[in-house]
């Protein structure tokens, strides 16, 4: 019986840990997990002298989408985008909801060229995808803006890498 209690405690601990690292709406990793894993992946990239790409992107005009079709439709769109993201990355990539309608992908062993290729492939997949919701009629299309940064060429620290990717995202939104 003691072993059963220990196993149940381990199970409960893992469940709580998973909840603390997971966004409840999209079931993607959340910001807390993102920051932890980005730190770990930068250390790994440094240790093995490898590149690491970080892509941050958001949904264009998402506020207008929510205002016109309702927040529940917007939530459905976020969930579907999360699924599309998971289906678009390699098994070693880490997909997270950064906040609101912003998402990020940590791409170990990826250089600038592969980061650009990924962002373009994702942009095209999203544009071609028809999103739907039980709260609205018809199919909906969206666009994304994306920015990327590469360790170590753009930045060598976590906060700076995030900043560089975010600035690239803002530049993409302006253009």
Distant-in-sequence, close-in-space partners of 110: CB < 8 Å, separation ≥ 6? 51, 52, 53, 118, 150
Q: What is the pLDDT of residue 96?
A: 98
Q: Where are the beta strands (DSSP E) in the chain?
A: 52-59, 94-99, 102-108, 144-151
Active site residues: 101
Q: What is the pLDDT of residue 127?
A: 96
Q: Compute how many other C-beta atoms are within 10 angstroms of the C-beta atom of residue 80.
A: 18
Q: What is the pLDDT of residue 14?
A: 74
Q: What is the pLDDT of residue 60?
A: 96
Q: Measured between alpha carbons, how far is 110 from 7 in angstroms, rounded to an integer?
A: 39
Q: What is the pLDDT of residue 115?
A: 98
Q: What is the pLDDT of residue 81?
A: 97
pLDDT tens, position by position, for the chain (175 residues)?
788 887 787 777 777 666 678 998 999 999 999 999 999 999 999 999 999 999 999 999 999 999 999 999 999 999 999 999 999 999 999 999 999 999 999 999 999 999 999 999 999 999 999 999 999 888 999 999 999 999 999 999 999 999 999 999 999 999 8
- C-alpha pair distances (Å), 10 with each of 16, 18, 32, 33, 36: 10, 12, 22, 20, 22
Q: Measured between alpha carbons, how far is 81 from 101 in angstroms, rounded to an integer?
A: 10
Under 8 Å between Cβ of 96 and 38:
no
Q: What is the pLDDT of residue 19?
A: 64
Q: What is the pLDDT of residue 7?
A: 78
String of b and e for 48-74 (b: at least 16 CB within 10 Å)? eeebbbbbbbbbeebeebbeebeeebb
């Amino acid at each position: 019986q003691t072993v059963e209690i220990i196993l149940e405690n381990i199970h409960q601990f893992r469940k709580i840990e998973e909840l603390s690292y997971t966004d409840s709406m999209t079931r993607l990793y959340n910001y807390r997990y993102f920051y932890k894993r980005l730190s770990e992946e930068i250390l790994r990239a440094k240790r093995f002298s490898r590149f690491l790409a970080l892509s941050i992107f958001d949904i264009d005009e998402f506020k207008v989408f929510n205002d016109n079709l309702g927040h529940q439709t917007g939530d459905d769109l976020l969930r579907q985008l999360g699924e599309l993201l998971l289906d678009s990355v390699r098994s070693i990539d880490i997909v997270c909801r950064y906040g609101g309608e912003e998402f990020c992908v940590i791409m170990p062993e990826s250089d600038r060229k592969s980061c650009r290729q990924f962002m373009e492939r994702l942009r095209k997949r999203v544009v071609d995808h028809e999103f739907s919701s039980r709260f609205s009629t018809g199919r909906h299309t969206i666009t994304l803006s994306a920015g990327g940064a590469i360790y170590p060429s753009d930045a060598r620290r976590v906060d700076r890498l995030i900043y560089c990717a975010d600035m690239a995202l803002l530049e993409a939104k302006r253009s």
